[in-house]
Chains A and B, each alone.
Chain A
Amino acid sequence: DAEITQSPRHKITETGRQVTLACHQTWNHNNMFWYRQDLGHGLRLIHYSYGVHDTNKGEVSDGYSVSRSNTEDLPLTLESAASSQTSVYFCASSGGLAGPETQYFGPGTRLLVL
């Protein structure tokens, strides 16, 4: 069955370190998204991609970067981790027959920045 996976599921890091969160989908979807979820803010879009080599900034992109070298993967990099980036991060993909509205979410990565 097609799926979307994220790794690691939990991560503790220190302020100033570079961190990369992986996202891998086997839906063959063109569209991929990274969100962070915080209490009181809901899901906020960080970056998104509509295809290979395409990347776009979302509403909270400062301090984050992504690159899309193939259809399946969209890694999210925190350039220099800050305590404000402690959050739960979700990757999602959409496209194909299900249409752009049906976003399939990964299980999430819980990141703690000390």
Chain B
Amino acid sequence: QKEVEQDPGPLSVPEGAIVSLNCTYSNSAFQYFMWYRQYSRKGPELLMYTYSSGNKEDGRFTAQVDKSSKYISLFIRDSQPSDSATYLCAIRAGGYQKVTFGTGTKLQVIP
């Protein structure tokens, strides 16, 4: 079983839609949860980072963590064509443990 599972998509939505991206993980030791966005032929860039269960909001983006279910989500409100990218979840245990990335979900927002 992979440490992090992520639906690869692709996910295609109309402009203005609410997008839900999800990951599940297997190790309850993971404490840090991140979402990266990767545009085509570019390196990933950090979008959101959270430590605890609950929600964290940043503009149109909301990261949600449910540690009891080992489930993390990224919601994008009022999606824009510029949100078209691959979104990777990433998780890390404490200390100097390495970051484990999901395989990424490709999102296309259609004008």
Measuring CB to CB, which residues of chain A are less than 8 angstroms from any residue of chain B?
35, 40-43, 45, 48, 50, 58, 90, 92, 100-108
B103 partner residues in chain A, CB cutoff 8 A? 40-42
Q: Are B102 and A42 in contact (CB under 8 A)?
A: yes
Q: Are B98 and A48 in contact (CB under 8 A)?
A: yes
Measuring CB to CB, which residues of chain B are less than 8 angstroms from any residue of chain A?
6, 8, 32, 34, 41-46, 49, 88, 92, 96, 98-99, 101-104
Roughly how many angstroms separate A114 CA and B15 CA in the complex, as a whole number? 42
B46 partner residues in chain A, CB cutoff 8 A? 101-104
Of the A-B pairs whose beta carbons lie under 8 Å apart in the complex, a sample of 15, sorted by A's number, is: A35-B101, A40-B103, A42-B6, A42-B103, A45-B98, A48-B98, A90-B43, A100-B92, A100-B96, A101-B32, A101-B34, A101-B99, A102-B46, A103-B99, A104-B45
Q: Are B44 and A101 in contact (CB under 8 A)?
A: no
B58 CB to closest chain A CB, in angstroms?
A: 14
A48 partner residues in chain B, CB cutoff 8 A? 98
